[in-house]
Structure 1
């Protein structure tokens, strides 16, 4: 198998993982909304969908057009970062349980989750997104995609984090010693 073929398979696997996320997200959004959940930040969501979909397509196009030489050390180290980012992402999803969604939805009265990776970081899922945004294209030396996505994603995350933090501020505080 050529490195380009292996890269295409990897990107397709990540695309399938994104579809699995959307299934989980739809189910969890329904759970939250059925419990009085309030959605905010809808305005940036279509841009987020286009950006993340375009990211997958762009790195494949770049790999096919540029056909770069890919140093093995770069490919393997970036693959390790991609795997770690996926593990962190799914740790976030499992930790938040039915409260996790690709949309910003909070259920009034539920305290913020402060377990799992949320013990150390307010938004660990975005650490995974940023790491993957750099590493996945670099598995096949698609540095233009890595750079453009990182800049566009930084702009998106500025808006997204503002919306998410405002929504989370409406929740009751976590009690000391609580495992919420």
Structure 2
């Protein structure tokens, strides 16, 4: 029962983020934003979709392992951090890479301390979420895939902001 509630919440959260990103994308484009990294974005979507599928598959394959409260607590803290990141970026937050001409990078909130706090959060999330239900294969495989994906993405983003 806990798993079904959790996975429904997680899927709803991800869909909500996509909705916010779509709304922000409209605003960004109205400001003259240019999108970068389009070629790798479908791979990011595929990886995150397969991440959810893998969580569900491994959970049932492993015989419905119990919830681990410590990792659930860490996940809740990660959500609070994510909300801080999103609220700090405001209309600039997106799942895609956009740059509005003459705009400077955001330097408030967690961006005062970290260059890419949103990616730090995603790294932690990919590793922690499967551990809530002892899904070690998903945690390991998707942590590696995410590291590869973020290597590409951060390079693109750094290039965009160095112009």
- Per the shorter chain, which TM-score range? over 0.9
Q: For 1:9 and 1:116, how far apart are their aligned partners in 2?
A: 31
Tell me the equivalent position of 2:53.
57
Deviation digits for residues 57-93 of structure 1 (CA, Å, limit 9, x no counterpart): 11111010112644x6xx1111111111111111111
Distance in 1 (CA, whole Å) between partners of 2:103 and 2:127 is 34
CA distance in 1, matches of 2:28, 2:106: 14
Q: Are the counterparts in 2 of residues 81 and 132 from structure 1 also a CA contact under 8 Å?
A: no
TM-score (structure 1 length as normaliser): 0.87
Q: Give the 4+ runs in structure 1 shifted more than 4 A.
A: none
Structural RMSD (CA):
1.2
Query: 2: distance between equivalents of 1:126 and 1:88?
Result: 11
SS of the residue corresponding to residue 102 of structure 1 reads coil
TM value normalised by structure 2: 0.96
2:37 is matched with: 41
Deviation at 1:115, TM superposition (A): 0.5
Which runs of no fewer than 5 residues in structure 2 stay unpaired?
Answer: none
Aligned to 1:100: 93
Q: Residues 32 and 107 of structure 1 are in contact (CA less than 8 Å); yes or no, is this contact kept in structure 2? A: yes
For the residues of structure 1 that align with 2:100 and 2:80, how far apart are their CA atoms? 26
User: Which deviations, in whole Å up to 9, do the C-alpha atoms of 1:24-66 show, x marking residues without a partner?
Assistant: 1011111111111011101110010011011111111101011
Residues 1-180 of structure 1: matches in 2 within 5 Å? 5-67=1-63, 69-70=65-66, 75-170=68-163
The CA distance in 2 between the partners of 1:37 and 1:106, in whole Å, is: 5
Q: Distance in 2 between matches of 1:92 and 1:108?
A: 22
